[in-house]
Structure 1
Amino acid sequence: MTRHERNPIGNGPGKVGEAMLRHRTLSADGLSERLFRILFSGLVYPQIWEDPEVDMEAMDLAPGHRIVTIGSGGCNMLAYLSRSPARIDVVDLNRHHVALNRLKLAAFRHLPGHDDVLRHFIGHNLRGNVQAYDRFVAPHLDPETRAYWNRRGLTARRRITMFNGNIYRKGLLGRFIGTGHAIARLHGVKLKDITAARTIEEQERFFETRVAPLFDKPAIRWATSRKSSLFGLGIPPQQFDELAGASGDGTVGPVLKERLRRLACGFPLESNYFAWQAFARRYPAPGEGPLPAYLRPDYYAAIKASASRVSVHHESVTDLLARRPAASVDRYCLLDAQDWMTTRQLNALWREITRTAAPGARVIFRTAAEASILPERLDPGLINRWHYRQDESRAFTARDRSAIYGGFHLYERLDA
């Protein structure tokens, strides 16, 4: 699961992951929480794992809308720009995601054309990407973001050089997927071979004969019983407990297998770039399948024209909304951040959402489990101000090509 802005009521930098610190430091749960916080403090998601086409339809995005969204990898925020909103406020407590969002926006605004954007975000082994960054993008970045991408690591290379290679193999999630491929190879399975399938039936056959049996291997059963083994997916201890409880055997193996089956077989490969990233560790080449929405050529002009309307904030949703006037936001995208929240944090967030929501405002979010978490945890005075569009939520869940969530949820503000 993703991810992104995990402390909804934090007060600024350094707060990533504090929402999950619910146990004593030296307890088993406390150590698990703190290990996750350490891992989550770096770059986690070079690519976002929510389907922007589903998002935009569910939010019914239209020109002039004012949007607040969690950032993560920035792909969805850019896709939303194709609808010419009046304003987007992007928030994230992870400074690496903040820097990535700002870089992507600057690339659309200042690289010469669509082909240059494509080379920067999907080109592999292209030294020219860094040269293009230095010439066209870096001069337009704020000093903090420019310093971030120019910083040199242990290899003495600047961070920006990751765009010379396959950036989607970087970050916590990229390394986790790479580890999964390595484990599969140890068991004689090359996951990328599924890309040779030409029909859904061939995809299903590959999954059932090659991938599904991996979940019966003792080592994998052991791994899926441990919270730390899934930190690379962005699954914190709280979400692990929910998934393990749903599986019935104390592990997340059955749940993961079913969601991986849906990723592998739920949609034709030629229509699902999420499956390509999971199984081939790259986006499809021309003729193999689609690219993410924000890289589509027919979206490029609108995104470039609207990119200046985005502000990226290194803070929480709740803190941002607390500064916004009443009735000043039309659409909210919370990703799966609420799964991480305490009841107090959840209610604090929704008090600000309800206050700042314009008439007819919509909120979308995803959950690890199937059901919405709001009915049991949100104060009646808040939830009664919102209509849960349950049937549509189920339909959007079924259409979400990332296939890794239990539920997609759409709420609409009830006019007073």
Structure 2
Amino acid sequence: MTMTAQAQLDAAVLQEGDAATGRLERLFSRLFLGLVYPQIWEDPVVDMAALEISPQDNLVCIASGSCNLLSYLAAGPASVTGVDLSPAHVALGRLKLAAAQALPDHAAFYQFFGRADMEANRALYERYIRDHLDPETRAFWDGRRLLRRRISVFQTGFYRHGLLGRFLGAVHLVARLGQVDFAPLLAARSLAEQQAFFDQKIAPLFDMRLVRLLAGFRASLFGLGIPPAQYDKLAADGGGDVLPVLRERVRKLMCDFPIRENYFAWQAFGRCYDPAPDASLPPYLQAQNFAALRRNAARGRLVNRSLTDLLAAESAGAKQGFVLLDAQDWMNDAQLNALWQEITRTASPGARVIFRTGGAANILPGRVHAKILDRWQYDAEGSARGTEADRSAIYGGFHLYRFQG
């Protein structure tokens, strides 16, 4: 029997813990039924370097906002299958795939998903995209929420919506209370200027009583898609206090990469993409990749189910790349072993697995059975490169495994 979306989320999130944690997990599970990430918060450029995508590769990924799935398609693999437990994320990914094939040119595609705040986007949807959607996805975007059709979010500033968009709005509110204006950061032309902005304007915010109070609540990071189990891992990296970990992640986001080259920083602190002609953008939105994306979009598909369930229906040795995002941080040992058993069964020799962790440490040794994990080689050098290069800066570690067969 097919599980409902809510039942799948409950199975993924609910762990055996105390009553208070259980209540928070149930709340998080229900929030995840809606849109969480209007933009994925993992760097696809880092992913693609680690995956070494070839035309023969069949990839599977957790989709989130689907910036990753569409970016991989632009690299020309044989197929990319995305899964997500949020029906809203699946609807978003299918919308992007249909738009890549149906919109007349890159300018229209960028207007819809890059700007995502123009009244004319409704006409683009009605004229070009709507009739290319499957009935379920069309019903989602034509449906109403708070008296407006869901598709209207692309007229009013899509990246201000969803759980992450509202969380970033709250961050900007706290910044205003601290009299911080992010405009000088977005105009910075050197890493030294960015570091000075952080030291003078942002570091003092972490000493505010309000910020310290809010950071102490495990539900405070739900807007980042961080459930209680992952919050606890972050806090453990800070000696039991999540605040120093958050401070360092914000510092890395602001200071370790030129602001003109980091669209994650623009989304966090400008709440949009840089409007300059040579702006940093996700690979799928870049003009030079649009022809390849349009050509390969039909090789992508999205389904509303867990990755473990999807792989259980795949043939042995059928996959060459697996993208797990940070989902394993949510899992107990039984769930981890069930997932890796299916990954190992469906992996071809040389297949790659990539994932992120909230904390710095690789969480698999000692938890995934040795008889499974010993068939994989951990690429320490590639993992370190990915951790350093990931412009989103929100995770403690990027990890890469290669299948030995």
Q: How does 1:232-251 map to 2 (within 5 A)?
A: 232-248=223-239, 250-251=240-241
Query: Could you say which residue in structure 1 is the equivalent of 2:343?
Result: 353
Aligned AA for 2:109? V
Q: Which runs of 4+ in 1 moved over 6 A?
A: none
Which residue does 1:18 correspond to in 2? Answer: 11
Shift of 1:83: 1.5
How many angstroms does 1:218 deviate by?
1.0
Report what 1:28 is aligned to: 20
Offset of residue 20 of structure 1: 2.4
Partner of 2:66: 74
Separation in 2 of the partners of 1:401 and 1:151? Answer: 35
- Where 1:374 maps in the other structure, the secondary structure is coil
- Residue 12 of structure 1 and its aligned partner are, at CA, apart by 4.7
Structure 1 equivalent of residue 171 of structure 2: 180
Q: Determine helix, strand or coil for the equivalent of 1:67.
A: strand
Structure 1-normalised TM-score?
0.94
1:366 is paired with a residue of what secondary structure?
strand
Deviation at 1:11, TM superposition (A): 4.0
Determine the structure 2 residue equivalent to 1:364.
Answer: 354
Alignment of 1:101 with 2:93, yes or no, is yes
Superposed displacement of residue 97, structure 1:
0.2
Is 1:130–1:164's contact at 8 Å kept on the other side of the alignment? Answer: yes
Post-superposition shift, 1:194?
A: 1.1
Q: Is the Cα contact below 8 Å between 2:356 and 2:398 reproduced in 1?
A: yes
Q: Is the 8 A contact 1:102 1:145 kept in 2?
A: yes
Q: 1:361 to 1:158 in 2, by over 3 A?
A: same
SS of equivalent to 1:358: strand
CA distance in 2 between counterparts of 1:288 and 1:372 reads 36
Give the aligned residue type for 1:109: Q
> Is 1:168–1:281's contact at 8 Å kept on the other side of the alignment?
yes
1:191 positional shift = 2.9
CA deviations 1:173-204 (Å, max 9, x no partner) are 00000100001101111234311211100000
| C-alpha RMSD over aligned residues | 1.3
Partner of 1:3: none
1: CA distance, partners of 2:221 / 2:113: 27
Unaligned runs of 5+ in 1: 1-9
Query: Which residue is 2:82 aligned to?
Result: 90
Q: Who is 1:220 aligned against?
A: 211
Deviation per residue, 1:301-338 (Å, 9 max, x gap)? 11100100112111111111101110000100000000
| Equivalent residue, structure 1, for 2:329 | 339
Counterpart selection for 1:136 from 124, 128, 134 = 128
Residue 283 of structure 1 aligns to a residue in which SS?
Answer: coil
2:42 partner SS: coil
Aligned residue number for residue 291 of structure 2: 301
Aligned 8 A contact 2:254 2:265 in 1 = yes
Question: Structure 2 matches for 1:317-328, cutoff 5 A?
Answer: 317-328=307-318
Describe the shift of the 1:24–1:204 C-alpha distance in structure 2 as closer, same or farther (beyond 3 A). Answer: closer
Structure 2 length-normalised TM? 0.97
Q: Is the 8 A contact 1:43 1:97 kept in 2?
A: yes
Secondary structure, in 3 states, of the residue corresponding to 2:398? Answer: strand
Superposed CA offset, 1:158-185 (max 9, x none): 1101111210110000000010000110
Matches within 5 A, 1:114-193: 114-154=106-146, 156-193=147-184
Q: Tell me how far apart the structure 1 counterparts of residues 100 and 332 of structure 2 sit (CA, whole Å).
A: 37
Contact kept in structure 2, 1:321 and 1:352, CA below 8 Å: yes
Q: Is the 8 A contact 1:44 1:171 kept in 2?
A: yes
Deviation of 1:38 after TM superposition, in Å, equals 2.2
Against the structure 1 CA distance between its residues 279 and 192, is the aligned structure 2 distance closer, same or farther, given a 3 Å change threshold?
farther
SS in 2 for 1:61: coil
How much has 1:395 moved relative to structure 2?
1.2
CA contact (8 A) 2:328 2:336 kept: yes
Q: How far has the Cα of 1:13 moved from its partner?
A: 2.3
Query: Taking every aligned residue pair, what percent have the same amino acid on both sides?
Result: 50
